[in-house]
Copies of this chain bind each other. A is one copy, B any other.
Amino acid sequence: MTGSEVSGDTREAIVRATYRALCANGYADTTISAIAAEFEKSKSLLYYHYDGKDDLLEEFLRFVLDQLESELAATDATDAEAQLWNVIDQLLPPEPDAEAMRLRRALVEARANAPHSATYHDRFEESDEVIVDRLAAAVDRGVETGAFRAVDPEPTAEFVCSTAYGAIERAVTLEDQRPIHEARTGLERYVDGCLRAEE
C-alpha cells in the first residue's frame, strides 16, 4: 500500500502533519503516531494508506521536492546573476526563521539516512539534480549573454550546491546561523571574482 491512492486533499493534510511532526520532534523522534497526533482528519486514513514512518517521510520528501521545483520555476529574474541568486536564496535564505531552520534540520537528518534507504537516496539524488540543473541554467545564461566568463556551467553549479549544503549542514547541526551568512558572503565574492565577466 502506498500514498499514491490518496486524494489530493488528504495527501496535503498528511504532508502538513508530517511537516509539523518533523519540525516539533526532529527526524529521529518522528514516529507514525507523532504524525497521527498532528493529523486533522481521521487517523485511520493515515494508518490505512501508509505503511509506516518511511512511507510518510517519502511522501513528504516528494512534496518538498515538488514545491522546490515549482518555486524555482516560478522565480522570475531579469538577468543571469539575479537568476543564480534566486536559487541560492531558496537554499540559503538570508534571514532564515526558526521554522526554516527546523525544516532544514529534519532534511539533514533524513539525508544522513539515505545510505540505508534506496527511496531516500533516490529522492535526495533527484533534489540535488533539480538544484544543480537550475544553478547550471543560470550560469549557462550568464555565459551565453556575456555577463559571466566562459566557465563550465555544470561543475560551477555543483560547487555552489556543495557550498550551500555544507553551510546548511553546519548551521543546523550546531544551531548557529553564522555558516549561512559566511557562505552567502563567500558566494558573493566567488560570483565577483570567478564568474562575472571582467570589465
Contacts and interface: CB of A to CB of B under 8 A. Distances in A.
Given A174-B128, A186-B156, A194-B194, A167 B166 contact: yes
Contacts of A166: 161-169
Given A166-B167, A193-B194, A114 B161 contact: no
A158 B183 contact: yes
A174 B112 contact: no
Interface in A159-188: 159-170, 172-175, 178-179, 182-183, 185-187
Interface stretch (A37-45, A65-73, A103-111): A103-111
Interface in A11-66: 26-28
Query: What copy number does this chain have within its complex?
Result: 2
Contacts of A105: 115
A57 to B, nearest CB: 14
Contacts of A114: 173-174
Nearest to A122: B174
Contacts of A111: 112, 169, 173
Interface residues of A, number: 48
Nearest to A164: B166
Interface string A115-147: 110000100110010000000000000000000
A171 B128 CA distance: 11
Contacts of A113: 28, 109
Contact of A170 (B155, B156, B162): B162
